[in-house]
Amino acid sequence: MNRAANIALAVLAVLVVGAAVYVIANNKAPESQRQPAAAGSHSSTTSQQTPSVTITDGPSSLGIDPTSVGMGGSAPTIAFLGDDWTAGIGASAKAKRFTTLVCTQLQVIERNFGLNGAGYAKAGTSGGDYRSQVAKIVAAEPTIVVVSGGRNDYSDDAATTAAAAHAMFANLRTKLPDAKLVAIAPFWGDSDLPPEMVALSNAVRKAVTDAGGTYVDITDPVHGHPNYMADDADPNNQGYAAIAAALEPKLAGLLPQ
């Protein structure tokens, strides 16, 4: 092989090596851009468990969008007033609380005014009792107002709670003369109902019927089912589903025909 051929081969070898170095250098991310793998991590295609959602206090409008079910703007509205069970504390999502399950089944609009920790005369974590929500409920112009709860009042003075319930239902009747008022017998949970709750139930019954409303006395669907409870105070998805199944036929009969 002559000298010219040797030189050509040497130049070719240098070019090949240089090209390889260039490719490697440009396909290796700088150290500052590389992320260390987390211990026990999996491929990005691995499904992740959905975290539990804690539901906050206050009014919300979920339920059914009337335009999505072909009702235009004429779908009845149910306003729910109550405690942490009405708000859905303990459920994995708002769609799993009993109020939303009922409204979805009945194809009506839901307005939820549940207040965590509140009662007829008991201020909740946000500071107000049931009466603090009356103006908002009136503004919602509901077809039916459903009031649930009372378990947060059980240790308070019975006469005070009874007076608060009576005043609230009377106020709702005055400001919503055409709405149907409904009170649900207070729920307690998986354990037996304390004697104080029996007196409270009677007070709520009298308060709503004096205002021309309806008292719905259903057996607590969570009673005797500890597996229906998310914790010591609130139901889980299964508990709320049981409440919805018991309540839905009662409210269905009160809807406009």
Domain count, the chain: 2
Q: Do the Cβ atoms of 158 and 195 come closer than 8 Å?
A: no
User: Residue 249: which residues within 8 A CB-CB, separation 6 or more?
Assistant: none
pLDDT of residue 19: 46
pLDDT of residue 127: 86
User: Does residue 24 sit in the same domain as residue 90?
Assistant: no
Rounded to an integer, what distance in angstroms lies between the CA atom of residue 81 and that of residue 87? 9
Q: What are phi and psi of 217, to 5 degrees?
A: -100, 90
Pick the residue with more confidence: 32 or 25? 25
User: Does residue 172 sit in the same domain as residue 77?
Assistant: yes
What number of CA atoms fall less than 13 Å from residue 76's CA on the CB side?
22
User: Does residue 7 sit in the same domain as residue 84?
Assistant: no
Does 48 have pLDDT greater than 90?
no
pLDDT of residue 42: 27
E-assigned strands of the chain?
77-82, 109-114, 144-147, 180-184, 214-216
Q: How confident is the model at residue 257 (pLDDT cuts 50, 70, 90)?
A: confident
pLDDT of residue 154: 87
Helix (H, G, I), strand (E, B) or coil at 45: coil
Please check whether residue 100 lies inside any domain of the structure.
yes
**Rounded mean pLDDT, 227-242:** 96
Please check whether residue 56 lies inside any domain of the structure.
no
User: Does residue 82 sit in the same domain as residue 166?
Assistant: yes
Rounded to an integer, what distance in angstroms lies between the CA atom of residue 89 and that of residue 28? 50
pLDDT of residue 12: 46
User: Does residue 18 sit in the same domain as residue 132?
Assistant: no
Which residues on adjacent β-strands are paired with residue 145? 79, 181
Please check whether residue 83 lies inside any domain of the structure.
yes
What number of CA atoms fall less than 13 Å from residue 250's CA on the CB side?
19
User: Does residue 11 sit in the same domain as residue 138?
Assistant: no
Predicted TM-score of the model (pTM)? 0.73
Domain ranges, residue 110: 66-252
pLDDT of residue 195: 87
User: Does residue 194 sit in the same domain as residue 79?
Assistant: yes
pLDDT (tens digit, 9 = 90+) per residue, 116-163?
Answer: 999 999 999 988 999 999 999 999 999 999 999 999 998 888 999 999
Report the candidate in 88, 151, 90 with the shortest Cα–Cα distance to residue 118: 151
Residue showing tokens 């839901």:
110
User: Does residue 99 sit in the same domain as residue 23?
Assistant: no
Structure tokens at 82: 């109550």
User: Does residue 9 sit in the same domain as residue 78?
Assistant: no
Q: What are phi and psi of 68, to 5 degrees?
A: -85, -10
**Rounded mean pLDDT, 23-44:** 34
Report the candidate in 129, 144, 122 with the shortest Cα–Cα distance to residue 77: 144
Calculate the average pLDDT of the chain: 79
* Cα dist from 34 to 24, 39, 41, 62, 97, whole Å: 16, 16, 16, 43, 44
Rounded to an integer, what distance in angstroms lies between the CA atom of residue 131 and that of residue 142? 16
Pick the residue with more confidence: 182 or 11? 182
| CATH number of the CATH domain containing 109 | 3.40.50.1110
Q: How confident is the model at residue 56 (pLDDT cuts 50, 70, 90)?
A: very low
**Rounded mean pLDDT, 86-106:** 97
Helix (H, G, I), strand (E, B) or coil at 51: coil
User: Does residue 112 sit in the same domain as residue 7?
Assistant: no
